[in-house]
Amino acid sequence: MSSAIINGKEIGQEIRGAVATRVEALKSKGVTPGLAVILVGDNPASKTYVANKQKSCEQIGMFSELIKLPEDISEQALLEQISELNTRSDIHGILVQLPLPKHIDEDQVIQAISPEKDVDGFSPISVGKMMLGQDTYLPCTPYGVMKLLEHSGIEIAGKHAVIVGRSHIVGKPMGQLLLQKDATVTYTHSKTPNLPSFTKQADILIAAVGRPNFITKEHIKEGAVVIDVGINRNEQNKLVGDVNFTEVSELASHITPVPGGVGPMTITMLLENTVQAAEKELERQAK
């Protein structure tokens, strides 16, 4: 058996087309959706992520502003910067690129973002609303995975989804979103004994581990849908996922490649969340 490849680049482009149409509609009403991206320090990976986010905003006609702050900025000064962005009417979404330098408390910083502008969906208010199934901004990577499954016609209700990884930004919210679509969800992590005994039960397997080629054919049930969230560099400095694609694609019914799978969806959903924030702001003003 060989798998159908879930093409995140193509699905992402399709969604971005629809988002661009919404941007045009907002512009015709005098509103340009605006995203502020805060980058603290000189982390090369963070710089690349931020540049990609800005480029993607511009490509669909959105406004984006990069706020570069020095590595040694105080937590207080960063909080003041966020507070100012919270009040700006041309900024609808605020994103703080993580990780932050050690002397800054990330939780405090994320909490300072106004829930109306929390387009990353990381603040406790956004997370709480997501848990309750209320209207909120969903965290971009798990939201992107849900869109990949939806666009690929993969049934979720009644399926057993196994998540490998329980981080706040990927694993935990991923399980929650699948649960809301009536999957039976199992979380696994580094303390899970005999991991394959769990992953082999998965109809839908989500790998969010951060270890190159960690998931092999011994983890997979034939016909499973395999979503690889991992972005890692192997020994040859090549970009690879958490899943050994060559082996696993022999068994899976559907699989995402790396690159070109989940990656393009994360930025796509960030754009969508920001446009949604601008639409909601317009609605509030009209009331």
Q: In this structure, what token pair is assigned to residue 146?
A: 């849900």
- Least separation in angstroms between CB 36 and ligand NDP: 20
- Least separation in angstroms between CB 196 and ligand NDP: 10
Query: Which residues belong to the active site?
Result: 53, 97, 120
Contact status, residue 81 vs residue 242, Cβ threshold 8 Å: no
> Quick check: 190 binds ligand NDP (CB under 6 A)?
yes
DSSP 193: S
CA distances from 136 to 26, 164, 287 (A): 20, 25, 19
Footprint of ligand NDP on 133-172 (CB under 6 A):
141, 164-167, 169-171
- Total residues contacting ligand NDP by CB under 6 A comes to 25
Residue type, 229: V
The residue behind tokens 């690129």 is 97
Residue type, 267: I
Q: Which of 85, 162, 209, 271 binds ligand NDP (CB under 6 A)?
A: 209
Stretch that binds ligand NDP, among 81-89, 90-98, 223-231, 246-254 (CB under 6 A): 223-231
Q: Are strands 93-96 and 63-69 parallel, antiparallel or unpaired?
A: unpaired
Footprint of ligand NDP on 255-274 (CB under 6 A):
262-263, 266
Residue 284 burial (CB count, 10 A): 9
Backbone angles phi, psi at 85, to 5 degrees: -65, -35
- Least separation in angstroms between CB 136 and ligand NDP: 19
CB nearer to ligand NDP: give 40 or 208. 208
Write out the residues near ligand NDP by the rule CB under 6 A.
Answer: 141, 164-167, 169-171, 188-192, 195, 208-211, 229-232, 262-263, 266
